[in-house]
Amino acid sequence: MREYAFQKAGKVQCIDLDIHGNTISHSVLSANDSDLSGNHLFVYPAQSNFSGKKYPVDWIHQVKRGQMPWQQDALKDVNGSKRCENCWFTALDAASLVSTSPLDLGSIKPDFVIISFYKMFGFPTGLGALIVHNKAAHVLKKTYFGGGTVAVSLAKQRFHVSRSSLSQRFEDGTIPFLDILQV
C-alpha cells in the first residue's frame, strides 16, 4: 500500500507510535516537495503479525478528528489555518486481529478494513476482503480495467465505462468461485 501511495502522491510518512499514539520517531519518503493538500490515508495494523501486539482501534476516531500529535503539521498550511476538512481516511489491517478477537465495525467506523480468510480459518489461501465504507468509496479510483470490470469499452478510442457497483469495478478476471464456496 505504501508503494501505491508513493506513486500517486510522491510522499509517504512512516510513523513509529507508542501505545498512546504519541510519535516516537518518523521518516518521510519523498520524491518531490509536494504539498500536503488533498486526501491523506492513515494505515495501521489492529494487531501485529510479527509480535501479536494490539494497537488501539480508537486511533481511527482520533485520526478522523485530526487529534493525533503527528497530524498537526499536515493539517495546517503556511499561515497556520486548517488545510483540509474531512481529508483523512483510515485503513485498518484487521487480518491478524479478527483471527482471535471480535471487531465491531459499527463503533469504530474505519473507511477501509483488510481481512484475510486464511488467517481467520486457515483455509483457503489467497482469499481475503477489503471492506469499504460507503462514504469512502468515492476516493477509490481504478487506473486500469480488465476482465469484466467495464460495461463498455471502445477499441479505437480511449473510452470505457466502468461497471456501476464498486465490487464489480474492482473484480478483475474470474472470481475464485471454489475458494468463496469453501469460506
Q: Please state, in angstroms and rounded to a whole number, the distance separating the CA atoms of residues 161 and 62.
A: 37
Are 42 and 128 in the same domain? yes
The secondary structure of 83-122, three-state, reads CCCCCEEEEEECCCHHHCCCCCHHHHCCCEEEEEHHHHHC
pLDDT at position 111 is 96
pLDDT of residue 19: 66
Regarding whether 174 and 132 lie in a shared domain, the answer is no
H helices of 25-183, where? 59-64, 105-108, 117-121, 166-169, 177-182
How many structural domains compose the chain? 2
Same domain, 61 and 13: yes
Q: What is the pLDDT of residues 131-150, one digit of tens each?
A: 999 999 988 887 777 777 88
Is there a single domain that holds both residue 172 and residue 115?
Answer: no
DSSP annotation of 135 reads G
Nine-digit cell at 102?
471480535
Residues 96, 146, single domain; the answer is no
Q: How far apart are CA 100 and CA 17, in angstroms?
A: 23
Q: Does 79 lie in the same domain as 61?
A: yes
Rounded Cα distance between 149 and 63, Å, is 33
Residues 104 and 87 in one domain: yes
Q: What pLDDT shows up at residue 32?
A: 59
Task: Please tell me whether residues 91 and 137 are part of one structural domain.
Answer: yes
Residues 134 and 50 in one domain: yes
Distance CA 48, CA 108 (A): 18
pLDDT recorded at residue 87 = 82
Residues 10, 14, 18, CA angle at the centre, nearest 5°? 160
Question: At which residue does the C-alpha cell 485530526 appear?
Answer: 66
Are residue 80 and residue 7 in the same domain, yes or no?
A: yes
Residue-number span of the structural domain to which 177 is assigned: 142-183
Would you report the helix, strand and coil content of the chain in percent, each value rounded to 5? 25, 25, 50
Cα 100 from Cα 46, distance rounded (Å): 12
pLDDT, averaged per 10 consecutive residues of the chain (183 residues), comes to: 75 75 65 65 90 89 84 58 72 92 92 91 83 91 76 84 84 80 82
Q: Are residues 67 and 147 in the same domain?
A: no
Residues 81 and 126 reside in one and the same domain: yes
State the pLDDT at residue 11: 77
Closest residue by Cα to residue 23 from 71, 61, 60, 63: 71
Residue type at 4 in one-letter notation: Y
